[in-house]
């Protein structure tokens, strides 16, 4: 029982660490990582994609929260 | 008497210093914004793991695959850093920059006041263990290649001592910055480190290599400040409608 509670708390900690208040930002980062990896594999410069996706998704998330 | 190989010592000092700066920046940032207890415990935990790894692997450290470690640590730092950047922007847009100066736990439900801050521990642990691993690899690579492992260890240890002292001297100055402003800039710092490492992990070639790191910090911090006025503008129509 104690182990189950500990495992649940452990899972909740990591979900909160990764997802936080808005899951769309973490999802956008994941998609951008996959996209960057695809560009690297194709031999195309990929350094611009991750910061662009990170800041773009954060801005969209802020807009949605501010308008609530 | 042990002979000192000066070129190896100096080379290792500066090569390790680049990694140690990143390590110290993360520990000081986490300690200043969350909990010094958690940040130092995380740093200590990271160093213990590192010592065990070095003792177990020795010169085989050169074969440790850094790319997947960089990808995982970088991606986690990036998503967490963006959360803090977002929260910092929302709080400053709502209440201004100055609130929270000199107070311990101002409007910050993220940091548990009555129990251990595991999030701060994990952030500090990851920063120290990843950067420490890179320092260990530098020591093994430079020292091993020149047959002067002792000089390489001294050079890296000197970099750790000097930069840890710089961190210890600057943390009081950092503690004077309002907490919500610190939250925005630490969010930018963690996001920049996360972007850089995750990118390296999947093989992205950053323009100028390590030079990209301060550029990324400036980009995220500048974007955070720029988003403040946008968020205030996005809030305005709602407050006008409610009148």
pTM for the complete prediction? 0.77
Residue-averaged pLDDT of chain B:
83
Is the pLDDT assigned to residue B130 strictly greater than 90? no
Give the model's pLDDT for residue B2. Answer: 60
Contacts of B208 (CB under 8 A, 6+ apart): B215
> Contact at 8 Å (CB) between B65 and A2?
no
Is the pLDDT assigned to residue A1 strictly greater than 80? no
CA distance A58 to B14: 36
Using the beta-carbon criterion (under 8 Å), do A40 and B204 form an inter-chain contact?
yes
Distance from CA of B221 to the nearest CA of A (A): 11
> Contact at 8 Å (CB) between B70 and B197?
yes
CA distance B77 to A54: 12
Mean pLDDT value across residues B19-41: 87
Is the pLDDT assigned to residue B160 strictly greater than 80? yes
A13 interface with B at CB cutoff 8 Å: yes
Domain extents for chain A? 19-66
Q: Which two tokens stand for residue B243?
A: 């009148």
Please state which of the ranges A41-50, A59-68, B101-110, B141-150 shows the lowest mean pLDDT: B101-110
B136 interface with A at CB cutoff 8 Å: no
Mean pLDDT value across residues B8-26: 85
Give the model's pLDDT for residue B11. Answer: 82
CA distance B24 to B169: 12
Quote ipTM for the complex. 0.93
Mutate to test the interface with B, among A14, A27, A33, A42 (most CBs of B within 10 A): A33
> Contact at 8 Å (CB) between B159 and B167?
no
Token pair 């209440």 is found at: B95
> Contact at 8 Å (CB) between B100 and B227?
no
Domain extents for chain B? 6-233
Using the beta-carbon criterion (under 8 Å), do B118 and A20 form an inter-chain contact?
no
Using the beta-carbon criterion (under 8 Å), do B203 and A40 form an inter-chain contact?
yes
Give the model's pLDDT for residue B121. Answer: 92
Give the model's pLDDT for residue B108. Answer: 54
For A56, name the nearest residue in chain B, comparing CA atoms only: B223
């Amino acid at each position: 029982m104690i182990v189950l509670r500990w495992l649940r708390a452990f899972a909740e900690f990591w979900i909160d660490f990764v997802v936080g208040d808005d899951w769309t930002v973490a999802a956008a980062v994941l998609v951008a990582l996959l996209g960057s990896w695809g560009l690297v594999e194709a031999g195309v410069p990929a350094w611009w994609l991750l910061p662009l996706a990170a800041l773009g998704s954060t801005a969209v998330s802020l807009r949605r929260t501010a308008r609530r | 008497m042990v002979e000192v190989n000066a070129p190896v010592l100096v080379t290792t000092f500066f090569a390790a210093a680049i990694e140690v700066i990143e390590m110290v920046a993360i520990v000081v940032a986490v300690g200043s914004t969350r909990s010094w207890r958690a940040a130092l415990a995380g740093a200590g935990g990271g160093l213990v793991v590192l010592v065990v790894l070095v003792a177990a692997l020795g010169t085989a450290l050169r074969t440790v695959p850094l790319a997947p470690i960089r990808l995982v640590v970088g991606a986690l730092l990036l998503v967490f850093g963006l959360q803090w950047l977002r929260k910092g922007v929302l709080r400053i847009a709502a209440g201004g920059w100055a609130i929270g100066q000199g107070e311990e736990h101002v409007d910050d439900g993220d940091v548990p006041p009555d129990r251990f801050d595991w999030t701060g521990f994990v952030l500090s642990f990851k920063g120290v263990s990843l950067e420490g691993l890179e320092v260990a690899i530098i020591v093994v690579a430079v020292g091993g290649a020149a047959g002067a492992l002792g000089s390489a260890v001294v050079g890296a240890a000197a970099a750790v001592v000097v930069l840890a002292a710089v961190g210890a001297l600057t943390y009081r100055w950092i503690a004077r910055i309002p907490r919500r402003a610190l939250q925005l800039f630490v969010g930018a710092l963690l996001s920049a480190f996360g972007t850089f490492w995750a990118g390296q992990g999947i093989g992205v070639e950053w323009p100028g290599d390590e030079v990209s790191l301060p550029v990324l910090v400036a980009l995220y911090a500048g974007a955070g400040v720029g988003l403040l006025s946008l968020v205030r503008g996005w809030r305005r129509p709602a407050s006008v409608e409610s009148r």
